[in-house]
Structure 1
Amino acid sequence: MDLNMTLLYVCAGVLGILALTSTTNALKEEDCPVCIKFLTKFMNTLEGEEKTVENIEKKFRKFCKSAKNKDERLCYYIGALETSATGILGEMSKPMSWGVPADKVCEKLNRKDSQICELRYPKVVDLATVNLKKLKVKDLKNILNNWGEECKGCAEKSDFIRKIEELMPEHAPEAHAARTKEEL
């Protein structure tokens, strides 16, 4: 009898440890930001009677048509775009129809295609307060790219900074006003 109780306690301890490790391995938003945010936004558009696999897939394809940048890339990886090479849309729609939260759906999708959680949104730079000289050239190029501008002939960091300061009144007038007010 004493051996059975010891065995029972050992089993309970092992199960407790397994339960703790499984909850600590849960996917967090910073681990898979694009997937979790995009799927959460999509799930909020669904209503109760629409939560069938077919409806979810149809609505997700439609939802992806308006997606841009990283969200569009996620749709491509899942297989919701016409140009998608692969399709794991069923891996997303089935759990969603059961009411599984976005982080768990993304965790499952990540097991099928690890690129899904490698997607990251670009850093948002507050142009009103940031010191442009402390940014990396890559970030300066991203600012220009987001504005739809190029810096032809720019070879050094100072060239990119000069171009951003030149275009700031046109593309970010509030930030430009705050910066000029700060300099006075």
Structure 2
Amino acid sequence: MLRLSTFRALVAFALVLDVRAALKEGDCEVCIGFLGSFYASLIADTVPFSSADIESALVRKCTSARGKENRLCYYIGATSDAATKILSEISRPMSHHVPVEKICEKLKKKDGQICELRYDKEVDLSTVDLKKLKVKDLKKILDDWGETCKGCMEKSDFIRIIDELMPKYSPNGAKTRTDL
């Protein structure tokens, strides 16, 4: 007769195999990444695994989410301006330690936009020529740093602000850029 712990391990392994077959490579990149780090933070902070506690922790985590992760929070209803809430679709399975890949697969069936989110590629500030970037990319660099460029009208204004702030946010990039 199988011991309970062995049975749970077999079920978890079967779920992982099932998930890998259902999700293609690169599907749900933001969902899996965000919920994976969220799940790890729940374990590290020893949060009780009840649906209500998980939902409140998820809403708290989403208040500091930026970029694509903030968009995911909007889609699942964890932001104040979200139109719908499907938090229970995350909290209920997570309270039973269902793998985040399986949770994201179910979320994909509810709202396909969730799995279309992709992380932006990081810009290596030590090697990139800021003059060759688009203004949109320069704004994104500032947004990632939590900064804005008030009064910036031209591309050169954005580049000047990034160069000024680089020692604070990317010391290695600033050091390498001065060597160029």
TM-score by length of 2: 0.71
Secondary structure class of the residue paired with 1:127: coil
Q: Any stretches of 5+ residues in structure 2 without a counterpart?
A: 1-16
For 1:31-180, what aligned pairs fall within 5 Å after superposition? Answer: 31-47=27-43, 50-146=48-144, 147-149=147-149, 152-154=152-154, 160=155, 162-173=156-167, 174=171, 175-180=173-178
Secondary structure class of the residue paired with 1:95: helix
Aligned partners of 2:82, 2:160: CA distance in 1, in Å?
A: 39
- 8 Å contact kept, 1:79–1:88: yes
Instruction: Give, in angstroms, the shift of residue 181 of structure 1.
Output: 0.9
> Does 2:22 match 1:25?
yes
Query: Aligned pairs, how many?
Result: 156
Structure 2 match to 1:16: none
- 8 Å contact kept, 1:129–1:179: yes
Query: Structure 1 137/119 Cα, relative in aligned 2: closer, same or farther at 3 Å?
Result: same
Secondary structure class of the residue paired with 1:46: helix
Secondary structure class of the residue paired with 1:172: helix
Instruction: Give, in angstroms, the shift of residue 70 of structure 1.
Output: 2.4
Instruction: Give, in angstroms, the shift of residue 92 of structure 1.
Output: 1.0
- 8 Å contact kept, 1:144–1:150: no
Query: Structure 1 168/53 Cα, relative in aligned 2: closer, same or farther at 3 Å?
Result: closer
The residue type paired with residue 61 of structure 1 is: V
Q: Any stretches of 5+ residues in structure 1 without a counterpart?
A: 1-19, 155-159
Identity among equivalent pairs (%): 46
Query: Structure 1 42/27 Cα, relative in aligned 2: closer, same or farther at 3 Å?
Result: farther
Cα RMSD after superposing both structures? 2.8
Query: Structure 1 41/167 Cα, relative in aligned 2: closer, same or farther at 3 Å?
Result: same
- After superposing on structure 2, the runs of 4+ consecutive aligned residues of structure 1 that deviate more than 6 Å are none
Aligned partners of 1:103, 1:22: CA distance in 2, in Å?
A: 6
| Greater RCO (CA < 8 Å, at least 6 residues apart) | 2
Q: What's the CA shift string for 1:98-126, capped at 9, x where partnerless? A: 21111111111111011112223333211
Secondary structure class of the residue paired with 2:42: coil
TM-score by length of 1: 0.69
